[in-house]
């Protein structure tokens, strides 16, 4: 009986030892297998952080040739628009000095100046007598329209043998204030033609005489060398540019309740 009991005990001890050894081996194998997983997990984190930090910067996509040309044209149009707005024709701004003058028995001359002492940027002689204009202004508001024709420049280009496309582009290069011949209308009635004039010594002398006057009308006394008294009207005008073919000048009179007594329109039709 003792021998049998000892055998049973040894068997039980053997089984317990084997079981403990098996658990230790499994624990070791679990640790050894879990260590790579942990390292792999850490590796994934490091890889993720490295991936976030080292993201490649996005490359700029090259635009197609057509889009590049369109952008270049748009820039040129914007540049031309800025030049046309900032550098107004012949250096005139939004406020100019306008002077209507002429000998009592002569025709009306209309001059536009940037400053009171600057040379006129625009000077034309109308076919209307100065006395007739005075009567029109005494009766109420006066609207003077000066019209010129685009086809004059095109006819010149056609005579030179250029194409219609080049003629239209050349016509656009002529500034409105540089046109030489105008059809004249006063309050809707045709009044002959107006011609552009250069500022000679006589015209410059009259403009210098009225230079201190900011707004007003009167008569300059005649001298021996002149043809009689000079009637004038001088005021500030507001300049509105509609396009390259249209401009308007409104006389600024604070006593007219906001309605200009005199308006001058330049049109190229």
pLDDT digits (tens, 9 = 90+) for 33-69: 444 444 444 445 544 444 444 555 656 566 566 666 6
**Would you say residue 152 has pLDDT above 60?**
no
Distance (Å, whole) CA 236 – CA 95: 7
- pTM, rounded to two decimals: 0.60
Q: Which residues does residue 101 pair with via DSSP β-bridges, in sequence order?
A: 109, 232
Query: Which residues fall within 8 angstroms of residue 87, CB to CB, at 6 or more apart?
Result: none
pLDDT of residue 240: 95
CB distance 120 to 100 below 8 Å: no
CB distance 146 to 194 below 8 Å: yes
Q: What are the tokens at 15?
A: 């089984």
pLDDT of residue 112: 96
Q: What is the mean pLDDT of the chain?
A: 74
Query: Which residues fall within 8 angstroms of residue 117, CB to CB, at 6 or more apart?
Result: 211
Q: Which of 65-69, 72-76, 183-187 has the lowest mean pLDDT?
A: 65-69
Q: What are the tokens at 13?
A: 């001890």
C-alpha to C-alpha distances, 175 to 55, 118, 153, 243, nearest whole angstrom = 57, 19, 12, 11
pLDDT of residue 150: 86
At residue 139 the predicted structure's pLDDT band, cuts being 50, 70 and 90, is: confident
Mean pLDDT computed over 214-230 = 83
pLDDT of residue 134: 86
pLDDT of residue 228: 83
CB distance 245 to 254 below 8 Å: no
Mean pLDDT computed over 174-198 = 93
**Would you say residue 170 has pLDDT above 70?**
no
CB distance 96 to 239 below 8 Å: yes
Mean pLDDT computed over 201-205 = 92
**Would you say residue 117 has pLDDT above 70?**
yes
pLDDT in tens, 77-94: 556 545 444 444 456 889
Q: Which of 100, 97, 181, 102 is nearest to 146 (CA)?
A: 181
pLDDT of residue 63: 59
């Amino acid at each position: 009986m003792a021998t049998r009991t000892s055998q049973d005990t040894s068997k039980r001890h053997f089984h317990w030892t084997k079981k403990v050894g098996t658990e230790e081996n499994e624990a070791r194998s679990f640790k050894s297998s879990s260590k790579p997983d942990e390292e792999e997990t850490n590796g994934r984190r490091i890889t993720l952080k490295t991936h976030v930090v080292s993201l490649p910067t996005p490359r700029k996509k090259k635009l197609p040739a057509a889009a590049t040309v369109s952008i270049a044209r748009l820039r040129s149009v914007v540049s031309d628009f800025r030049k046309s707005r900032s550098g107004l024709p012949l250096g005139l701004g939004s406020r100019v000095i306008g002077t209507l003058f002429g000998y009592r028995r002569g025709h009306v001359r209309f001059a536009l100046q940037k400053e009171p002492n600057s040379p006129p940027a625009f000077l034309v002689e109308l076919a209307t007598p100065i006395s007739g204009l005075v009567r029109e202004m005494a009766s109420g508001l006066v609207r003077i329209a000066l019209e010129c024709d685009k086809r004059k420049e095109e006819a010149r280009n056609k005579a030179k043998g250029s194409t219609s496309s080049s003629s239209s582009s050349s016509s656009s290069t002529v500034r409105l204030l540089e046109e030489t011949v105008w059809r004249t209308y006063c309050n809707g009635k045709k009044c002959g033609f107006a011609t552009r004039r250069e500022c000679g010594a006589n015209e410059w002398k009259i403009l210098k005489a009225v230079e201190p006057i900011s707004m007003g009308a009167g008569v300059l006394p005649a001298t021996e060398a002149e043809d009689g008294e000079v009637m004038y009207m001088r005021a500030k005008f507001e300049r509105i540019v509609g396009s390259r073919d249209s401009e308007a000048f409104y006389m600024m009179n604070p006593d007219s309740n906001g309605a200009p007594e005199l308006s001058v329109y330049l049109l190229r039709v």
